[in-house]
Amino acid sequence: MRQHVNPLSSNFIQTERIPSLSEMFGDSKLNLHLDIGCASGEFLFDLALVNTSWNYLGIEIREKLVNNARLKMLEREIKNLYFVFGNANNILNNVQSEFIIKNLKSISFNFPDPWFKKRHHKRRVVQPEFINILSNSLQKGTLIFIKTDVKDLFDYMDCTLSSNFYFKTIDKKNFNFSESFNPNNVKTNREKYVIFNQLDIFEKIYIKI
């Protein structure tokens, strides 16, 4: 399976219909977390099975991964989990998805593709325009979690978020993880690999003010 797809390809301009929250979830009133670039969704499966008082939504640009995750979700009859296929930037830039942004309690960007070459930086999922869209529609108090093992990417994401007036950093030491979308500190697949190989992890939490 292809590891990388170019998110700027015209294939992703047209986005699929986004169902309403009550079509996505058994109980649409639960706290909603969005994981951007969820790959095969294993992280979200682990979370959804343990934290039944949260709804988990994953967006992933590799269609086959999304199709497999959806099948698994249906087979297991998990009602607090949903997957959307496409480029998260295009999906959330669409006025028809504004209800998703408005209902979020938190968003995670876990180990996004680094796109190392400078000329490819525009393919990175965290972009100033995208962060503006989020800051315009997110409710006050919504949290954004970023995590990566690439220092240059971390600095880039941190600079992009910190340059937006509406996002303030939260000190991890004073953060109550037990009330977050991930109270049990579940790890993503990339995170497990990074820990196994004893690489650094750079992470930060922001709050919409």
DSSP state of 197: T
Q: Give me the least distance between CB of 94 and ligand SAM, in Å please.
A: 13
Q: In the annotation, is 113 catalytic? A: yes
Q: Decide if residue 142 touches ligand SAM (CB under 6 A).
A: no
Q: Which window, 25-33, 71-79, 108-116, 171-179, contacts ligand SAM (CB under 6 A)? A: 108-116
Chain positions 80 to 99 lying near ligand SAM, rule: CB under 6 A, are: 87-89
Q: Decide if residue 127 touches ligand SAM (CB under 6 A).
A: no
Q: Decide if residue 125 touches ligand SAM (CB under 6 A).
A: yes
Q: Give me the least distance between CB of 140 and ligand SAM, in Å please.
A: 25
- Could you tell me the two tokens for 201? 């992890």
Q: Are strands 202-208 and 143-148 parallel, antiparallel or unpaired?
A: antiparallel
Residue among 50, 134, 41 at smallest CA distance from 83: 41
Q: In sequence order, what are the beta bridge partners of 34?
A: 57, 107
Say which residues have a Cβ less than 8 Å from residue 34's Cβ, sequence separation at least 6: 57, 58, 59, 100, 104, 106, 107, 108
Q: Decide if residue 126 touches ligand SAM (CB under 6 A).
A: no
**Residue pair 149/112 in contact by the 8 Å Cβ criterion:** no
State the residue for tokens 């525009």.
Answer: 122
Catalytic residue among 113, 149, 152, 200: 113
Residue among 158, 156, 137 at smallest CA distance from 208: 137
Q: Decide if residue 37 touches ligand SAM (CB under 6 A).
A: yes
Q: Which regions of 86-171 does DSSP assign to beta strands (E)? A: 104-110, 143-148, 167-170
Q: Decide if residue 144 touches ligand SAM (CB under 6 A).
A: no
Of the candidate residues 189, 202, 203, 207, the single one contacting ligand SAM (CB under 6 A): 189
Q: Decide if residue 33 touches ligand SAM (CB under 6 A).
A: no
Q: Which residue is nearest to ligand SAM (CB)?
A: 37
| One-letter amino acid for residue 23 of the chain | E
Q: Decide if residue 51 touches ligand SAM (CB under 6 A).
A: no
- Interface ranges with ligand SAM (CB under 6 A): 7, 36-39, 59-62, 87-89, 110-113, 125, 188-191
Q: What amino acid positions are annotated as catalytic residues? A: 113
